[in-house]
Structure 1
Amino acid sequence: MTLDTLPEAPPLAPRRPLVRTFHGVTLADDYAWLKDANWQRVLRDPSLLDPAIRAYLEAENHYAEAVLRPTEALQKALVAEMRGRIKEDDSTVPQPDGPFAYLSRYREGGQHPLIGRTPRDGGDTTTLLDGDTLAAGSAYFKFGGTRHSPDHRLEAWSADVRGSEYYTTRVRSWQTGEDLGDVLEQTSGGVVWGLDSTFFYYTGVDENHRPLKVYRHRLGSAQSDDVLVYEEKDTGWFARVEESASGRYCVINTGDHDTSENWLIDLSRPDAVPRLVAARETGIRYGVYDRGDELFIHTNEGDAIDYRIATAPIATPERKQWRPLIPHRPGVYIVSVALYAGYLVRLERANALPAIVIRRLADGNEHSIEFAEEAYSLDIVDGFEFDTTRLRFTYSSMTTPAEIYDYDMASRQRILRKRQEIPSGHDPAGYVTRRLLATAHDGAQVPVSILHRRDVCPDGTAPLLLYGYGSYGMAMPASFAANRLSLVDRGFVYAIAHIRGGADKGWGWYLDGKREKKTNTFADFEAVARALITQRYTAAGHIVAHGGSAGGMLMGAVANRAPGLFAGIVAEVPFVDVLATMLDDTLPLTPPEWPEWGNPITDEAAFRHIRSYSPYDNVVAQRYPAILAMAGLTDPRVTYWEPAKWVARLRATMTGGGPIVLRTNMGAGHGGAAGRFDRLNEVAIAYAFALHAVGRNSDQAD
């Protein structure tokens, strides 16, 4: 890092080895003590954290503050720039439903959304939920789900006040603006209303933070009286509820990363019981959408790696009744489906580029919506109305701010409803976005999306931030993000590596980067870095790698494998202790994650493979780049002790380089700070660290 001297010595974590043996292999973990023995209680009440662990994390925060002190002016400049690109009194485009149109908005200077509605044909906005007021007095506040009742009298809403993703669900009256007496603790946040607006379904979260039970709540009753309507017995599966396409059913979707199962509950009957669609079959995933007496099924059944669409009668929805509608086409991944009374819409992706395809159900006629840029992002916006010809979608690219369109599927007219406003100004013509291909070690062609200022020429001298994720089949969109302009305007090239493990090039691209093929993810990222060097976008030692969560695992892996490529690494909530976490079946996500990584408890081959790449287990005596690890104390997904242990082992083992910095948000979880402006402070820390790592220390854009 371009700091001549460090302000002080970093904290020294005591070594207290925990020795265990698995499959004949003895593991010694010097820093296992950083995991609080009562971590479940800490998620609910952070004040219960073991004092010795708290003291260590606070010492690390003190050291991080000292290391980053020379960047304070830069951080302030970055926050000011990024805030200047936010329209502070912004609002969503109202979403119509019956007599009203529902929206969320922000007030000038506000941190949290305001939830409200307007009369459908225009008029004043009524605000029901004021996030800023509700957040007052809480160190953390984040809305979960909000959903109005079918009769438009009530709004079910939920919030998390610790960052631990334990939501409390309440019900508020649109007439009085007051909450009813219904208070449901430890929920996953969302609800599905019954058609008569007197009851709803929700998912409860257990002591190990697993959503396994679905309950029916009748308004006016106590949570203890709620009726259990479904319980998932496999702790490796999670359950959730959602409203069906027509609004006629509550869909219980349960599954893991490889397999799924769906149940339907008739919302017209308060005493209805769930009805199975098709029994679980290992490796078969499916989602369901209803239209009258017909069910549409989005599935990989029948070796349809990139998915197909089938139909079945709702009366007999079992798998043997599935009739083909949209066939499987290898390499064209059907990402998602939206069903309307007269139209079937599918979002597809091929070669890391999305497309929207619309099918008129009356005659099967299809058309696509065309876009011109070389790399871009599309999303379908869920609406409330089923019998409509209006489709809402968002479009953006790395240079083009988000645009929201209403598209008439019958007339094929596209109406711009909103364009993201950048108050401080943004000229897309001043930037260039490109799509390149990097050749991986086995010949695979890895897409790369690139953004840079038009006056930055590829001459091999520019610093470059390379972002990657590469897990769970999640694709990284080439979308607009105003914050990254603060790097690009300082001469950075910004690149996204669409590596295996994500579904950027189809579901097969994901399968080629999971379990026994996981190291393809890391090799692809390195191949992208080297391709960008070869094509003179940057140089070795001028690259800052950035990833979070499973992308943080990627950061830890490439730090071990190819440290010389990078000037710095930013790892947010990094999943770096993969082996120990997958060996601990009490943790919230461990059993559901075994299909993704393998089960090292029962499978020796999985144990040895995970051990071969798990970042914490592969720290070696070598020079490491500057590393910033960012964690959240109440994170139930990547627990705080993973980055804490990783940092301790790095410092104790490395032969040079660094510094290695750990910053733990003591009042937040996986997503960091919840307030939209508070979050900018964390982004500024990451960006200031990246700028310092490559010697760009100015607090002004070029």
Structure 2
Amino acid sequence: MSAPQPPQTKRLSSVRSYHGDSFTDSYEWLRDKENPEVIDYLTAENTFTERITAGQQPLRDTIFEEIKERTLETDLSVPQRKGNFWYYSRSVEGKQYPVMCRVPAQTDGTDSENFTPPTVEPGTPVDHETVLLDCNEFAKDLPFFSLGSFSPAEDGSLLAFSVDASGDERFTQHFYNCETQQLLDETIDNVFAGSFLAPDATSLIYTVADDSWRPYQIRRHVLGTSADNDAVLFNEPDVTMWLGAEISADKSALLIDSGNSEFSEIYVVPFAELDTFHEAATPVIARAQKVQYSVEPVTLDSQKYLLICHNFEAVNSELVLAPYPESEDFDSYRALWKPVMKHREDVRIEGATLSATHLVVSARANTTSRLFFSPLSQLRELAINDHQLVFSEPAGFDDELYTCSLTSASADSPVVRFSYEAWVTPTRVYDFFPATDQLLLRKETPVLGDFSTDNYTAYRLWASAEDGTRIPLSIMHRADLDMTAPHPVLQYGYGSYEASMDPVFGIARLSLLDRGVIFVVAHIRGGGELGRNWYLKGKKLHKKNTFTDFVATTDFLASQEWVDEKRIAIMGGSAGGLLIGATLNLAPEKYCAAVAQVPFVDALTTILDPELPLSALEWEEWGNPIESSEVYEYMKSYTPYENIRPVVYPPIAAVTSLNDTRVFYVEPAKWVAQLRHTIDKNSATPLLKIEMDGGHGGGSGRYTRWRDIAWDYAFILTHMGIPTAG
């Protein structure tokens, strides 16, 4: 039987001209997903990919079953208190989606008693349990389901939740009367993610997006009225700014934040003044100052202040206590600031919030995300004089590489909840009472079977970049792996938007480690692992550092006796998919396989068109190639689609979704077509796998996600030479 042949893709010339340069794009016609010919082509690509990878199906099935067998399918989240109820979700064996529940909370005990979650057993109802939303029932007739916001009222009378039914991140807002247990007829269409009820539950605060899917308006919907009459609280016309809103930790104010990756503008609006708020109000720091910051209101001895985490002359940020601004005179306002946590070159301050007793600061030191606590009494002293705060951390964490990240804190609660994760340690949920230094483990993610964290190891190594910069690497593998013999490596990276690839435990990853694969995360420039400068050295006209760092990581690994240099595979998603594409163009001979997930591989075409979703927002990350010929030439020199070479490339799988609004399906579709047209014919045929009912995260539902992971891993393992029988 002859080998399957890929679909034939017609080439239609479309010329793009900027700054005296013209580029002929032969596959831009694939952008029109309303064209039946495009859909037919994408369907044919799926069929071809299924046929060419049919031999990997047994391995996919095996990995899927391994994930399933290690996962406690009937489980529940740790209950989270809001008002006088505990809210939690149940997962049920055989069901794709969670069931959202609640039970009444105790209110007449000590702090420890009142804030101790109820004992809820998986699969076992508890007294007075109420099912608020069975996502499986709600999703039964939908092609796709993603729960966006889930916002119960403070008094427990109402629930607001939003649902994306296609994967395009356009949500429909719903309301549920918790007392009558009735879904209300009242809905709002095309809501952006992140809507929430105001503390008095009489109105909903939500965001809407423009045609380029940029959140640009904050609206207020009064319950029981038509959405046509919803008030616009704030309108952001600047196409480079992203608009959002949240409730302050003390629930006194609405925080409206317009910003990008370089600066912010925030308004603090007391809920009592929502009706009179107008856009001429004074921001905390005007955008003209080009300061990136966040704020949190705090009341100390009846006096109102703001905690401001800012980067003015403090690249890694500084935390200060300040009065409410009375004018936009920035220099005068700065003179009133009192330092709470001063700037340090080796610590990146990421934000601050409040509990009933303590200030809580999130910061990153030596790549590790940590939490720091200081009593509010010290903050009161600072308000009066120049008292220096003393911070402490919860004790008892012994992993070399871990993530300690805030889950919830509120100014009316004595407890701070956070998660602790490490590469080979299952996720733990802790409740910390900083006033008494009491740290309580509420849950550790169960891993079924013969799993033991002692069977695996994770540690830090450092590679050297072309310019001598040291690149941190996270290495993980079986503890009993013979490190005097060479082994296959899966190298993963991202390197954009100051996003850090922090240690997280993954049950699915065990299927790789148990097969002798060494998993390596390269913390390359463009991420945030080593502070703000680490990010700045991997963006705009420094972007190529991201890609050369990744290749330098490969060279370092290939020089180790425990690495089989012929079996190094790479994987990344979204901007990490751009990383994969650029890396393949730089050094295709170094890799045995590559998986690019929802890859941003046609970045220049996208960013040159501000009408495309989110394009204008990207100018602060990559530069503006429309206005700057230097940016245009620089981007054109690395963007994957335009730099494919006629040499042998390794086997490549581009995985995408038809309804992705962040990275359009057309980018990987064009990239795969251009790869086939350009690369040496001795290369394996690049593959395109597209989820026809999915978004940026792929298909919906946990079993669907597990099968997607199994597909990616089986592709990698097959080209590493791992037996397909599993």
TM-score, normalised to structure 2, is 0.92
2:375 to 341, 351, 360: 360
Deviations 1:50-102 (A, max 9, x none): 10100111111111101110011111111111111221122111111232111
Does 205-214 or 227-236 show the bigger shift?
205-214
* Secondary structure of residue in 2 paired with 1:636: coil
* Secondary structure of residue in 2 paired with 1:678: helix
Contact 2:595 2:653 in 1 (8 A): yes
Query: Is 1:508 the equivalent of 2:512?
Result: no
Query: Is 1:287 the equivalent of 2:294?
Result: yes
Contact 2:82 2:154 in 1 (8 A): no
Letter in 2 for 1:382: S
Cα deviation for residue 697 of structure 1 reads: 2.4
Count, aligned residues:
683
2:694 and 2:717 map into 1 onto residues whose CA distance is: 25
Q: Which residue of 1 aligns with 2:6?
A: 10
* Secondary structure of residue in 1 paired with 2:619: helix
Query: Is 1:167 the equivalent of 2:168?
Result: no
1:66 and 1:491 map into 2 onto residues whose CA distance is: 28
Q: Flag structure 1 segments of 5+ consecutive residues without an equivalent.
A: 37-41, 43-48
Query: Is 1:138 the equivalent of 2:163?
Result: no
Cα deviation for residue 166 of structure 1 reads: 0.3
Q: Which residue of 2 aligns with 1:681?
A: 707
Cα deviation for residue 698 of structure 1 reads: 3.4
The 5-angstrom pairing of residues 611-626 of structure 1 reads: 611-626=636-651
* Secondary structure of residue in 2 paired with 1:553: helix
2:71 and 2:717 map into 1 onto residues whose CA distance is: 22
Contact 1:16 1:30 in 2 (8 A): yes
Deviations 1:495-539 (A, max 9, x none): 111110000011110001001000110111111111122222313
* Secondary structure of residue in 2 paired with 1:133: helix
Q: Which residue of 1 aligns with 2:717?
A: 691
Contact 1:104 1:116 in 2 (8 A): yes
Contact 1:88 1:106 in 2 (8 A): yes
2:440 and 2:703 map into 1 onto residues whose CA distance is: 31
Contact 1:117 1:126 in 2 (8 A): yes
Cα deviation for residue 565 of structure 1 reads: 1.3
Q: Which residue of 2 aligns with 1:300?
A: 311
Query: Is 1:647 the equivalent of 2:672?
Result: yes
Q: Which residue of 1 aligns with 2:381?
A: none
2:206 and 2:144 map into 1 onto residues whose CA distance is: 23
Cα deviation for residue 472 of structure 1 reads: 0.1
1:24–1:118 Cα change, 3 Å: same
Cα deviation for residue 444 of structure 1 reads: 0.9
1:315–1:559 Cα change, 3 Å: closer
Contact 1:541 1:564 in 2 (8 A): no
Query: Is 1:32 the equivalent of 2:49?
Result: no
The 5-angstrom pairing of residues 75-86 of structure 1 reads: 75-86=60-71
Cα deviation for residue 9 of structure 1 reads: 1.5
Cα deviation for residue 550 of structure 1 reads: 0.1
Deviations 1:210-248 (A, max 9, x none): 210111101111111101111001011121111111111
2:562 and 2:520 map into 1 onto residues whose CA distance is: 10
Letter in 2 for 1:663: K
1:237–1:524 Cα change, 3 Å: same
* Secondary structure of residue in 1 paired with 2:224: coil
2:517 to 474, 481, 492: 492
Query: Is 1:51 the equivalent of 2:36?
Result: yes
Cα deviation for residue 581 of structure 1 reads: 0.7
Contact 2:175 2:184 in 1 (8 A): yes
Contact 2:285 2:291 in 1 (8 A): no
Sequence identity of aligned pairs in percent? 36
Q: Which residue of 2 aligns with 1:546?
A: 571
Query: Is 1:107 the equivalent of 2:107?
Result: no
1:677 and 1:23 map into 2 onto residues whose CA distance is: 48
2:417 and 2:2 map into 1 onto residues whose CA distance is: 52
Q: Which residue of 1 aligns with 2:401?
A: 375
1:270–1:256 Cα change, 3 Å: closer
Q: Which residue of 2 aligns with 1:452?
A: 477
Query: Is 1:339 the equivalent of 2:335?
Result: no
1:284–1:6 Cα change, 3 Å: farther
1:227 to 221, 226, 231: 231
Q: Which residue of 2 aligns with 1:93?
A: 78
1:190 and 1:522 map into 2 onto residues whose CA distance is: 33
Query: Is 1:20 the equivalent of 2:16?
Result: yes
The 5-angstrom pairing of residues 471-482 of structure 1 reads: 471-482=496-507
Contact 1:393 1:405 in 2 (8 A): yes
2:276 and 2:374 map into 1 onto residues whose CA distance is: 33
Cα deviation for residue 282 of structure 1 reads: 5.5
Deviations 1:651-695 (A, max 9, x none): 000112223100010110101012011111111110000011111
The 5-angstrom pairing of residues 182-331 of structure 1 reads: 182-269=186-273, 271-273=275-277, 275=281, 276-281=283-288, 283-292=290-299, 293-301=304-312, 303-314=313-324, 316=326, 319=330, 320=333, 321-331=336-346
Cα deviation for residue 315 of structure 1 reads: 5.9
1:369 and 1:551 map into 2 onto residues whose CA distance is: 33
2:153 and 2:569 map into 1 onto residues whose CA distance is: 48
1:520 to 545, 568, 578: 545
Query: Is 1:66 the equivalent of 2:62?
Result: no
Contact 2:60 2:707 in 1 (8 A): yes
Letter in 2 for 1:260: S
Does 141-150 or 355-364 show the bigger shift?
355-364
Contact 2:83 2:154 in 1 (8 A): no
Q: Flag structure 2 segments of 5+ consecutive residues without an equivalent.
A: 107-117, 119-126, 379-388
Letter in 2 for 1:82: I
* Secondary structure of residue in 1 paired with 2:262: coil
Letter in 2 for 1:95: Q
The 5-angstrom pairing of residues 378-389 of structure 1 reads: 378-383=404-409, 385-389=410-414
TM-score, normalised to structure 1, is 0.95
Cα deviation for residue 366 of structure 1 reads: 1.6
Deviations 1:98-151 (A, max 9, x none): 321111221222211222211113443211011101111111000001111122
* Secondary structure of residue in 2 paired with 1:483: coil
Cα deviation for residue 270 of structure 1 reads: 5.2
Contact 1:78 1:699 in 2 (8 A): no
Letter in 2 for 1:474: A
1:180 to 158, 180, 184: 184
Deviations 1:232-276 (A, max 9, x none): 010111211111111111111111111111112222345141542
1:154–1:698 Cα change, 3 Å: same
1:537–1:223 Cα change, 3 Å: farther
